[in-house]
């Protein structure tokens, strides 16, 4: 029961993003262009969630994708969209937590 609650509340086992980055992952920031301009992970790609469906072709399926936004909500939606289109994708949560992966 405890494991279920942790998973439900987001406290379950997390993905090793270091290992995903070593596979050549692309960080996709799904915040608006204005939010992105206010600060972002250097080397990330900005594709706002509202236009992700139309701009998905900018991404290649041969590399994993890590989505991020302000809090993790929009990046979770983006993860679902990309997964349903055949991408290997992980929700990185807040962009600020991914700054250590700057290129």
Domains and CATH numbers, the chain: 15-101 (3.40.250.10)
Length of the chain: 103
What is the distance between the alpha carbons of residues 14 and 63, in angstroms, rounded to a whole number?
19
Does residue 11 surpass a pLDDT of 70? no
What per-residue confidence (pLDDT) applies to 14? 72
What does pTM read for this prediction?
Answer: 0.86
Output the pLDDT for position 30. 98
Confidence at residue 50, expressed as pLDDT on a 0 to 100 scale: 97
Does the pLDDT at position 8 exceed 50?
no
**Catalytic: 68?**
no
Q: Out of 28, 52, 66, 69, which one is annotated catalytic? A: 69
Model confidence pLDDT, tens digit, residues 15-69: 889 999 999 999 999 999 999 999 999 999 999 999 999 999 999 999 999 999 9
Q: Which one, of 36, 19, 41, 33, lies nearest residue 88 by Cα?
A: 19
């Amino acid at each position: 029961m405890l494991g279920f609650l942790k998973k439900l509340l987001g406290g379950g086992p997390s993905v090793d993003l270091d290992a995903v980055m070593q596979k050549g992952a692309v960080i996709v920031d799904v915040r608006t262009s204005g939010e992105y301009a206010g600060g972002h992970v250097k080397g990330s790609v900005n594709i706002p969630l509202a236009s992700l469906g139309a701009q998905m072709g900018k991404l290649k399926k041969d590399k994993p994708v890590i989505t991020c936004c302000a809090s993790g909500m929009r990046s979770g939606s983006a993860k679902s969209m990309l997964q349903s289109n055949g991408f290997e994708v992980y929700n990185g949560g807040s962009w600020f937590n991914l700054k250590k992966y700057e290129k």
